Amino acid sequence: MSHLLSVHGLKTYFETRAGLVKAVDDVSFHIDKGEMVGLVGESGCGKSITALSVMRLISPPGKIIRGSVEFNGEELTDASPERMRKVRGNDIAMIFQDPMTSLNPVFTVGEQISEALRLHRKLSRKEAEQEAIEAMREVAIPSPERRIKDYPHQLSGGMRQRVMIAMALACDPDLLIADEPTTALDVTIQAQILELLNGLRESRELAVLLITHDLGVVAETVDRLCVMYTGKIVEESPVTELFEEPKHPYTRGLLKSVPRLNETREEKAMRLNTIEGVVPNPTALPPGCHFAPRCPLKEPRCEEGEIPLYRVSENRSVRCVLYDEFESE
Ligand SMILES: Nc1ncnc2c1ncn2[C@@H]1O[C@H](COP(=O)(O)OP(=O)(O)O)[C@@H](O)[C@H]1O
Ligand SMILES: [Mg+2]
């Protein structure tokens, strides 16, 4: 069976003065039509560079070194720049953490959504305005007939993100890449945006790659999770199983740092102390498992060589020697 998006063995490196940064180092994952997949890990682990590599938006000193990105059966890593513009305009859309950087402050949100729609469909000004109202309704912006005349700064952060989603949907994409779409928002607004994405996945069969540093965000929204650490996927799993039984020691640490409702002060203190140590310098990664220096279960063999991903069940894999009785990928 072929997937909507298949990323295989992707490597994106940056040549910096301080040394080579392997921002994305042999990353593989896939997304099916209408599926929501989470890409999770601490800041700097390579989530955004993975997404930008899929979109072919990496610029020097960054470079896609190797790997394949197949979308709807088409290889994108060697597609022409012109073809990539089409893919970005029609098939894959992306939204970011801060809508203010993508919205133009001098035009109303109605004008901006209309413009996005007119790029893709032949519409008169009047029709485009009507469609913009419909688009705002689809992303649950209240009183869209009135809101259409607002400028971006007149809207709340959550409403601005809804406008971005409406614009992203204008091209009727098959895949939406959402890079930390809720990071700047309050918890309740976060939940509403995630609910909106979930609804769109169902109503439009939209596939979503949801990128976040916060495991709490993805718990109830995504089907499958890929956990990243220093440029590599260290665990991949359906979300329920991952929360029930995280396997990689890094995932276990991350999971312990997810806040619970009504936690006590002691619980909070415990939580914030769960993963000791710091993420290693990306130009001086330790040999073997990159997490070993912080790992409470470290053994000598962890630092001896590259650790493969072990397939521990049909749909779960873990990059950790604790699972070396399983077959590696
Ligand atoms: N323009 C750049 N030059 C050098 N290194 C970069 C550049 N952009 C990103 N990186 C490095 O790539 C790694 C991954 O970055 P990124 O994908 O943005 O992380 P995340 O989105 O997970 O927070 C980081 O170590 C970062 O320092
Ligand atoms: Mg990022």
Write the pLDDT tens digit of every residue in 44-97. 999 999 999 999 999 999 999 999 999 999 999 999 999 999 999 899 999 999
DSSP E strands in the chain: the ranges are 5-16, 19-31, 36-40, 62-71, 74-75, 92-95, 175-179, 207-212, 224-229, 232-238, 310-313, 316-318, 327-328
Mean pLDDT over 152-171 rounds to 96
| Two structure tokens written together for 151 | 């400028």
Residue 274 pLDDT? 64
pLDDT at 175 over 70: yes
Q: Compute the mean pLDDT over every residue in the chain, rounded to the nearest whole number.
A: 94
User: Which class is 5-91+173-278+287-328 in CATH?
Assistant: alpha beta
Per DSSP bridges, beta strands 36-40 and 224-229 are parallel
Single-letter residue type at 60: P
What phi-psi label fits residue 202: left (phi over 0), alpha (psi between -120 and 50 degrees) or beta? alpha
Q: How does pLDDT run across 190-225, given as a tens digit for each residue?
A: 999 999 999 999 999 999 999 999 988 888 899 999
49 pocket-lining for ligand 1 (C-beta < 6 Å): yes
| Two structure tokens written together for 316 | 């779960």
Beta carbons within 10 angstroms of residue 77's beta carbon: 16
Contacts of 238 (CB under 8 A, 6+ apart): 223, 224, 225, 315, 316
User: How much of the chain is in helix, strand and coil states, percent to nearest 5?
Assistant: 35, 25, 40
pLDDT at 271 over 80: no
43 pocket-lining for ligand 1 (C-beta < 6 Å): yes
Q: Please state, in angstroms and rounded to a whole number, the distance separating the CA atoms of residues 91 and 261.
A: 38
- Give the rounded percent of residues in the chain with a pLDDT score beyond 70: 96
pTM of the model: 0.94
Per DSSP bridges, beta strands 92-95 and 224-229 are unpaired
Residue 265 pLDDT? 75
Question: Whose alpha carbon is nearest atom 6 of ligand 1?
Answer: 14
Single-letter residue type at 137: R
Confidence band for 181, pLDDT divided at 50, 70 and 90: very high
Distance (Å) from CA 42 to ligand 2 centroid: 9
Distance (Å) from CA 45 to ligand 1 centroid: 7
Q: Which-ligand-closest: CA of 50?
A: 1
pLDDT at 1 over 70: no
Per-residue burial over 102-135, b if 16 or more Cβ lie within 10 Å, else e, is bbeeeebbbbbbbebbbeeeebeeeebbbbbbeb
pLDDT at 159 over 70: yes
Confidence band for 261, pLDDT divided at 50, 70 and 90: low
- Of 48, 98, 215, the residue with max ligand 1 atoms within 8 A of its CB, to mutate for a pocket test, comes to 48
Distance (Å) from CA 128 to ligand 2 centroid: 33
Q: How does pLDDT run across 315-324, given as a tens digit for each residue?
A: 999 999 999 9
Q: Please state, in angstroms and rounded to a whole number, the distance separating the CA atoms of residues 30 and 13.
A: 21
Distance (Å) from CA 54 to ligand 1 centroid: 15
Q: What is the 3-state secondary structure (H, E, C) of 176-221?
A: EEEECCCCCCCHHHHHHHHHHHHHHHHHHCCEEEEEECCHHHHCCC
Map residue 325 onto helix, strand or coil. Answer: coil
pLDDT at 272 over 70: no
Per-residue burial over 174-197, b if 16 or more Cβ lie within 10 Å, else e, is bbbbbbbbbbbbeeebbeebbebb
Cβ–Cβ < 8 Å for 183, 212: yes
210-219, 251-260, 268-277: range with lowest mean pLDDT: 268-277
Residue 101 pLDDT? 87
Cβ–Cβ < 8 Å for 225, 234: no
Confidence band for 120, pLDDT divided at 50, 70 and 90: confident
Per DSSP bridges, beta strands 19-31 and 207-212 are unpaired
> Quick one: DSSP state of residue 285?
P
Mean pLDDT over 242-260 rounds to 89
Residue 219 pLDDT? 85
pLDDT at 273 over 60: no
Q: Please state, in angstroms and rounded to a whole number, the distance separating the CA atoms of residues 131 and 110.
A: 10
Q: How does pLDDT run across 4-23, given as a tens digit for each residue?
A: 999 999 999 999 999 999 99
